[in-house]
Chains A and B, each alone.
Chain A
Amino acid sequence: MKFLHLIWANLRRKKTRTVLTLLSIVVAFVLYGFLSAIKQALTGGVSLEGANRLIVRHKVSIIQLLPESYKQRMEKIPGVASATHQTWFGGIYQDPKKFFMQNPVVPEEFLKMHPEIILAPEQRQAWLTTRTGAIVGRKTAERFEWKIGDKVPIQSSIWSKKDGSYLWEFDIVGIFEGRDKNTDTTPMFFRYDFFDEARRGGTGQVGWYTVRVQDTARPAEVAKLVDAEFENSSYETKTEAEGAFVQAWAKQIGDIALITASILGAVFFTILLVTGNTISQSVRERTGELGLLKAIGFTNAQMLALVLAESCLLAVLGGVLGLGAAWLLTSHGDPTGGMLPLYFFPARDVLAGLAMSVALGLVTGLFPALQAMRLRVADSLRRI
């Protein structure tokens, strides 16, 4: 690292230029972090827990219901450990724009199926004993300032009660946390037994099933068995891994990955130009100095390394600052005000970003470095 001083001194040669270039790299990486978080929000939500969970829905579309009785039949299928169901409630609290999901579930089964949902034992107990009880995720509880003990009126757009009213009322008995960042803490869950008894139509019918596969079984094979079980019934099913189901949902919005990749492509292409230009400009300006270093005895490899180190130092410094800033910015919540519940900058993308900053340094420095390496000493000294 004895050359560090020299590299650093070169970067400080034209401070304005270096700082401006550095800032544009920082901006590029802030953007990268930001887009990663958006992509995460739109395509993420695939938890590790979901690896041995399957989603079973009506074959024609998810809006069509399945019989509640399928649970027993599913649990007899070899490889299935347990099954539980949810139903889309489609409710609105005060403002239809403040969307969040509320589904009726069977509490014990549901909590067992979803260990990523963390609920305090006494709250769990309260839920089991309160028929109108509901639990809600931390984010939504904070958004609407709900506390345990609150009664919340929810207007369903789908389900009416026996008296014909679409307005339902629930008692908040618990506020759950997510076990990891990937867990959505915006939904609300309430009791299926209460729901099924109170609703006017659709009694005994549920939205979709979540199936836990036995540790020893292969999820893909179990999925086939489930679909085979219900083939030719009036409720045929389509079963897929939870991850695939979530991904497919994201793809309904569009090819998010492609869009973010294209934008990042444009961003990094221009940053490449700006940084590459800065480095090659500074190499061009000191042809004579580089010639001197060669005269003193710097080898071609050392010249190459010197210039590459300079561009890499610049790029990595910008990358680290940018990624850090992105980390801070994205941890303040999503910019759309709640439309993206799983908005965060995943650690894997931070690492990828670091790798990209090194790559940026290498790519932008390569051309000028070769230029410096190929310099003919005798010629370059003459230029002074």
Chain B
Amino acid sequence: MSGPVNWLSQIAAVTKFGLLSMPQRRGSVAAAAFGIAGVVAVLVGVLSIAAGFRRAMAASGSPDAALVLRSGADSEMVSGFLRDSTRIIADAPGVARTPEGPLASAELFVIINLPKISTGTDVNVPLRGVERPALKVREGLRIVKGRMFEWGRDEVIVGIGAAREFDGLQVGDRLKVGRYLWPVVGIFSAGGGAADSEIWSDATVLQAAYHRGDSFQSVFVKLKSPDAFNEFKDAVTADPRLNAQVLRQTDYYAENSTAVTKLITTLGYLIASLMAVGAVFGALNTMYSSVSARTREIATLRALGFGSAAVVASVMLESIALALLGGVLGAALSYVAFNGFHTATMNWQSFSQITFSLAVTPQLLVQGVVWATLIGAIGGMLPAIRAARQPIAAALWEL
């Protein structure tokens, strides 16, 4: 009895016994498989929040777009420029141009309180005042319902995420800002980016409402090319008339998301690890009972000359098969339950809500199944060793 083929057929023979006895042990098999499914579903579910958040942030900026803030300001919220400064920034080298002028939008950013539909409590919703180039500065932005607001008129358009998550933002509704009532005339989509959570109006309208005179908070700029960034940045930061810093939009949003994604990811892994420990105990239980239910069969096979390695391998195989069953179930469950689920959370940097969709990515699914396999392998190891170590004669006598 030697050679790999023989060895494989030994494993197959022993494994078959285990798999055939599964229906008899369906209670404990189901308990272990569901336990593992639960771990995978929670792991993938929690991490899909982080993945979705990160994806929304990534969709918010493109490499050839830059954001200019007052130096020292870590967000638009606390930044500020007068009109003179925003003009200088718009005319700086590296900025893309069209016949109508440079592709730079000086913007205002404030937050207003609106009820969140899912919780019914007030949340901070971003309200942005933009200039005409704003639509060209942000790639892929389009009106999906209603129309664009008219420049100079007291009207707003609403990002598709904001319209979904917050109350009173449908076309035809009126938005109350202080003593003003601004009609919502359109819904726009920014391809899943941060702008999807925002309400937009003409910057001049917002300036008037907030007594901001002719000041702005940030300048969004489209560059000639991604490579033009340094040219633009150097020009702006070196200009003695300006007190400004230049960020790539991609960097700005990535920076924005790190704290939240780190928090969610840390907690997600921690919770899933604890659950995995519990699931390992469940798997151990199942595999021990599987092995002890087959004490005689295994001993008989060993007596016939089957190797102990074959016994170990087959018990491990059974355990991993069971774990995979649970893992795939959990992954499928989390995909169905979480992928694309819309939600909103606090973006601490802007002190306001950001809407996004949970993303159950293929990587997460693979990760879930890998976890399941590990749980199965660990859960199978000790019982496999016990099975292989059983003294044959005593086991034959049992029962």
Classify A-B as touching or not with yes or no (CB < 8 A): yes
* Residue in B31, B270, B343 whose CB lies within 8 Å of A335: B270
- Is B344 touching A24 in the complex (CB atoms < 8 A)? no
Q: Which B residues from 83 to 142 make CB contacts under 8 A with A?
A: 110-113, 116, 118-119, 121-124
Report 18 cross-chain contacts, Cβ distance below 8 Å, ordered by A residue. A24-B35, A24-B278, A27-B274, A28-B278, A30-B274, A34-B271, A63-B351, A97-B259, A236-B179, A248-B122, A251-B121, A266-B41, A267-B42, A270-B39, A270-B278, A273-B31, A277-B27, A339-B263
Q: Chain B contacts of A38 at CB under 8 A?
A: 267
- Is A336 touching B263 in the complex (CB atoms < 8 A)? yes
Q: Smallest Cβ distance from B130 to chain A, in angstroms?
A: 19
* Residue in A96, A267, A274 whose CB lies within 8 Å of B74: A96
B9 close to A (CB within 8 Å): no
Nearest chain A residue, comparing its CB with the CB of B35: A270
Over the window 204-223 of chain B, the binary record of Cβ atoms lying under 8 Å from chain A Cβ atoms (1 yes, 0 no) is 00000000000000000000
- Is B78 touching A90 in the complex (CB atoms < 8 A)? yes
- Is B353 touching A252 in the complex (CB atoms < 8 A)? yes
Q: Smallest Cβ distance from B364 to chain A, in angstroms?
A: 16
* Residue in B28, B32, B77, B278 whose CB lies within 8 Å of A267: B278
5 A-B pairs closest in CB distance: A27-B278, A273-B31, A277-B31, A24-B281, A270-B38
Say which size band chain A's interface belongs to.
35 or more
- Is B266 touching A61 in the complex (CB atoms < 8 A)? no
A63-B111, A273-B34 known; A251 and B119 CB under 8 Å?
yes
Over the window 265-300 of chain B, the binary record of Cβ atoms lying under 8 Å from chain A Cβ atoms (1 yes, 0 no) is 011001100110111011011001100000000000
A269-B38, A273-B31, A281-B27 known; A254 and B343 CB under 8 Å?
yes
Q: Chain A contacts of B285 at CB under 8 A?
A: 16-17, 20-21, 24, 274, 278
Q: Smallest Cβ distance from B123 to chain A, in angstroms?
A: 5
| C-alpha gap A371/B113 in the complex (Å) | 57
Q: Which A residues from 261 to 287 make CB contacts under 8 A with B?
A: 263, 266-267, 269-271, 273-274, 276-278, 280-281
B177 close to A (CB within 8 Å): yes
A60 close to B (CB within 8 Å): yes
Q: Chain A contacts of B262 at CB under 8 A?
A: 336
Q: Chain B contacts of A247 at CB under 8 A?
A: 121
Q: Smallest Cβ distance from A254 to chain B, in angstroms?
A: 5
Q: How many A-B residue pairs have CB under 8 A?
A: 148
Q: Which A residues from 61 to 84 make CB contacts under 8 A with B?
A: 61-64
Nearest chain A residue, comparing its CB with the CB of B32: A274
| C-alpha gap A248/B70 in the complex (Å) | 31
B346 close to A (CB within 8 Å): yes
B181 close to A (CB within 8 Å): no
- Is A166 touching B344 in the complex (CB atoms < 8 A)? no
Main secondary structure of the interface of A (DSSP, over half): helix
| C-alpha gap A78/B288 in the complex (Å) | 72
B245 close to A (CB within 8 Å): no
- Is B267 touching A336 in the complex (CB atoms < 8 A)? yes
- Is B266 touching A336 in the complex (CB atoms < 8 A)? yes
- Is B121 touching A248 in the complex (CB atoms < 8 A)? yes
Q: Smallest Cβ distance from A351 to chain B, in angstroms?
A: 22
Nearest chain A residue, comparing its CB with the CB of B255: A96
- Is A61 touching B271 in the complex (CB atoms < 8 A)? no
Q: Chain A contacts of B230 at CB under 8 A?
A: none
* Residue in A61, A232, A251, A335 whose CB lies within 8 Å of B267: A335
- Is A253 touching B346 in the complex (CB atoms < 8 A)? yes
Nearest chain B residue, comparing its CB with the CB of A339: B263
- Is A252 touching B78 in the complex (CB atoms < 8 A)? no
* Residue in B28, B32, B119 whose CB lies within 8 Å of A281: B28
Q: Chain B contacts of A90 at CB under 8 A?
A: 78
Q: Smallest Cβ distance from B13 to chain A, in angstroms?
A: 26
Q: Chain B contacts of A193 at CB under 8 A?
A: none
| C-alpha gap A31/B267 in the complex (Å) | 11
Q: Chain B contacts of A352 at CB under 8 A?
A: none
Nearest chain A residue, comparing its CB with the CB of B73: A157
Q: Chain B contacts of A34 at CB under 8 A?
A: 270-271, 274
A23 close to B (CB within 8 Å): yes
Q: Smallest Cβ distance from B336 to chain A, in angstroms?
A: 14
- Is A270 touching B274 in the complex (CB atoms < 8 A)? no
Q: Chain B contacts of A280 at CB under 8 A?
A: 27
- Is B277 touching A27 in the complex (CB atoms < 8 A)? yes
A27-B274, A31-B271 known; A255 and B72 CB under 8 Å?
no
- Is A263 touching B271 in the complex (CB atoms < 8 A)? yes
- Is B34 touching A270 in the complex (CB atoms < 8 A)? yes
Of B31, B123, B344, the most chain A CB neighbours within 10 A belong to: B31
- Is A253 touching B31 in the complex (CB atoms < 8 A)? no
- Is A252 touching B110 in the complex (CB atoms < 8 A)? no
Q: Which B residues from 325 to 355 make CB contacts under 8 A with A?
A: 343-346, 348, 351, 353
A20-B281, A31-B271 known; A60 and B177 CB under 8 Å?
yes
| C-alpha gap A34/B271 in the complex (Å) | 8
| C-alpha gap A296/B271 in the complex (Å) | 48
Q: Smallest Cβ distance from B198 to chain A, in angstroms?
A: 14
Q: Chain A contacts of B75 at CB under 8 A?
A: 157
Known: A20-B285, A61-B113, A273-B30. 12 other contacts (CB 8 A): A24-B282, A27-B281, A34-B270, A60-B112, A61-B110, A62-B124, A254-B346, A267-B275, A273-B31, A274-B281, A277-B28, A335-B270
- Is A274 touching B35 in the complex (CB atoms < 8 A)? yes
- Is B42 touching A263 in the complex (CB atoms < 8 A)? yes
- Is B353 touching A271 in the complex (CB atoms < 8 A)? no
Q: Chain A contacts of B343 at CB under 8 A?
A: 254
Q: Chain A contacts of B305 at CB under 8 A?
A: none
A191 close to B (CB within 8 Å): no
Over the window 178-220 of chain A, the binary record of Cβ atoms lying under 8 Å from chain B Cβ atoms (1 yes, 0 no) is 0000000000000000000000000000000000000000000
* Residue in A21, A63, A270, A278 whose CB lies within 8 Å of B110: A63
A238 close to B (CB within 8 Å): yes
Over the window 35-69 of chain A, the binary record of Cβ atoms lying under 8 Å from chain B Cβ atoms (1 yes, 0 no) is 10010000000000000000000011111100000
| C-alpha gap A158/B274 in the complex (Å) | 42
| C-alpha gap A61/B77 in the complex (Å) | 13
Q: Chain A contacts of B78 at CB under 8 A?
A: 90, 157-158
Q: Smallest Cβ distance from B351 to chain A, in angstroms?
A: 7
B178 close to A (CB within 8 Å): yes
Over the window 80-98 of chain A, the binary record of Cβ atoms lying under 8 Å from chain B Cβ atoms (1 yes, 0 no) is 0000000000101000110
A155 close to B (CB within 8 Å): yes
Nearest chain B residue, comparing its CB with the CB of A329: B274
Q: Chain B contacts of A166 at CB under 8 A?
A: 72
- Is B118 touching A255 in the complex (CB atoms < 8 A)? yes
- Is A271 touching B274 in the complex (CB atoms < 8 A)? no
| C-alpha gap A359/B94 in the complex (Å) | 68
A24-B278, A34-B274, A62-B124 known; A252 and B288 CB under 8 Å?
no
| C-alpha gap A99/B30 in the complex (Å) | 46
Q: Chain B contacts of A266 at CB under 8 A?
A: 38, 41-42
Q: Smallest Cβ distance from B29 to chain A, in angstroms?
A: 9
Q: Chain A contacts of B39 at CB under 8 A?
A: 270
Q: Chain A contacts of B74 at CB under 8 A?
A: 92, 96, 157
Over the window 160-194 of chain B, the binary record of Cβ atoms lying under 8 Å from chain A Cβ atoms (1 yes, 0 no) is 00000000000000000111000000000000000
